[in-house]
């Protein structure tokens, strides 16, 4: 083993030199991501010394270290100067916090809200500078979109529009596809896809002129089949593909497009237990007698209880998402995808690389004792765990709801 120590030492010397250079340039932070990379490199070093000849071990370890440090490197930031950014959905959550941070950085922020008199609107008026402008916008109303477009064009004649942050979104049901009405799917599509599409298309001339940025809040539910979130996830999947199309088509104009896919964060909409209770009661009231007989009211109750319990995993600190929005707007070379929040790397690794049965089991593990519909319980009166019944629907945790 000692004869293999020289590739390990040589590779670590290269990694250390690269890390030191990045630290001196301030494009690398000391923190958990760097420690995680070093731990993974140490494990890879152990494997390389036992499985590979010295030259190959040196090449693999050095390449892995170089790539990992490159991924951690922060792209140089552009100056804020007089840049203008429009953010949708600023009543609560990510939109409100992003508006506050970008305003503090010196951006001219055009913040759209559903209600100009909401608590979030009042908070933005109180804590932000006079540069921030509040605009009323309901993405399901073409007249609201037209008014925002006209205002933005009129107020960016001299400065131009640098960025659009598509944050506004909605989800109003947690239910199986069969239990979700067509109106639910249409509403999610109207807000999360069609409204965002119309606003983005209307602003493209301004964004092309400035070679600016489009930043969109997506969701892992748009990539993975989260049971209970089909309406929301379908709209986010459509939006994700649309943004990929924009990314290719706008590249010659210099417009950079980024999509942010956060884990579950404690935004106001996620924590509004009364809202989810109201939606559950409406779902039960509108279900047909046949569906109530086959699924059972206790199945819906159990699904919603499990959904609320899964939200205990939500992260209170919203700063990882706000930092991703800021980086996407100001980095000289922003990422095409951002995955802020703990566990996202593991979740996507499982989704893309493990067998389907393991993927389902992983998603199911986030729920407390998922159950079968009434018609599949073999006469049992109460909720029957899926594990005991042998098969049944997967019930997974929800990602962030905008």
Beta strands 337-338 and 256-260, pairing class: parallel
Cβ 89 vs Cβ 167: under 8 Å: yes
Q: Decide: 225 and 211 in contact? Cβ < 8 Å.
A: no
| Dist. CA 132–CA 101, nearest whole Å | 11
User: Is the CB of residue 169 less than 8 Å from the CB of residue 192?
Assistant: yes
**Which parts of 122-172 are beta strand (E)?**
133-136, 163-166
Q: How far is CA 73 from the centre of its chain?
A: 21
CA-to-CA distance for 290 and 296, rounded, in angstroms?
10
Burial class (CB in 10 A: 0-12, 13-18, 19+), 147: middle
Residues in the chain, overall count? 402
Residue 136 near residue 115, CB atoms below 8 Å: yes
Query: What Rg do the C-alpha atoms of the chain give, in angstroms?
Result: 24
Residue 255: CB partners within 8 Å, gap ≥ 6?
Answer: 207, 208, 211, 212, 213, 214, 246
In DSSP terms, 331 is beta-bridged to 77
Would the CA dihedral through 340, 277, 235, 193 be positive or negative? negative
Note if 232 is an active site residue.
yes
Q: Write the Ramachandran bin of 178: left for phi over 0, alpha for psi from -120 to 50, otherwise beta.
A: alpha
Torsion-angle region of residue 369: left (phi > 0), alpha (psi -120 to 50) or beta? left
Sequence-distant (6+) residues with CB within 8 A of 233 are 219, 221, 222, 224, 225, 226
Which one is catalytic: 232, 295, 299, 339? 232
Distance CA(169)–CA(402), nearest Å, equals: 5
For 130, phi then psi, to 5°, come to -70, -10
Catalytic positions are 232
């Amino acid at each position: 083993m000692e004869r293999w120590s020289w590739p390990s030492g040589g590779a670590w010397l290269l990694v250390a030199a690269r890390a030191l250079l990045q630290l001196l340039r301030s494009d690398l932070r000391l923190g958990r991501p760097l420690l995680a990379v070093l731990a993974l490199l140490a494990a890879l070093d152990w494997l390389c010394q036992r499985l590979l000849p010295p030259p190959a071990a040196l090449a693999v370890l050095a390449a892995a270290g170089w790539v990992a440090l490159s991924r951690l490197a922060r792209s140089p930031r552009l100056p804020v100067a007089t840049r203008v950014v429009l953010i949708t959905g600023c009543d609560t959550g990510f939109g409100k916090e992003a508006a506050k941070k970008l305003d503090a950085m010196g951006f001219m922020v055009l913040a759209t809200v559903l209600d100009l008199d909401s608590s979030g609107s009042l908070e933005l008026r109180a804590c932000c500078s006079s540069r921030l402008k509040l605009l009323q916008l309901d993405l399901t109303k073409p007249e609201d979109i037209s008014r925002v477009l006209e205002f933005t064009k009129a107020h960016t004649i001299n400065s131009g529009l640098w960025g659009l942050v598509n944050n506004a979104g909605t989800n109003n049901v947690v239910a199986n596809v069969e239990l979700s009405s067509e109106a639910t799917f249409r509403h999610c599509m109207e807000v999360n896809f069609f409204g965002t599409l119309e606003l983005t298309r209307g602003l493209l001339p301004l964004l092309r002129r400035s070679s600016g940025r489009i930043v969109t809040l997506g969701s892992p539910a748009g990539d993975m089949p989260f049971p209970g979130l089909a309406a929301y996830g379908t709209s986010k999947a459509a939006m994700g593909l649309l943004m990929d199309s924009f990314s290719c088509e706008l590249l010659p104009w210099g417009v950079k497009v980024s999509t942010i896919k956060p884990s579950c964060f404690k935004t106001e909409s996620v924590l509004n237990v009364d809202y989810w209770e109201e939606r559950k009661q409406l779902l039960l009231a509108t279900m047909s007698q046949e569906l109530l007989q086959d699924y059972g009211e206790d199945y819906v109750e159990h699904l919603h209880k499990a959904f609320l319990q899964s939200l205990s995993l939500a992260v209170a600190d919203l700063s990882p998402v706000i930092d991703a929005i800021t980086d996407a707007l100001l980095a000289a070379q922003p990422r095409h995808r951002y995955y802020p929040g703990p566990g996202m790397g593991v979740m996507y690794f499982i989704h893309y690389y493990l067998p389907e049965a393991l993927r389902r089991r992983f998603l199911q593990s986030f729920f407390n004792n998922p159950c079968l519909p009434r018609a599949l319980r073999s006469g049992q009166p109460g909720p029957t765990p899926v594990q005991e019944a042998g098969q049944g629907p997967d019930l997974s945790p929800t990602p962030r709801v905008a």
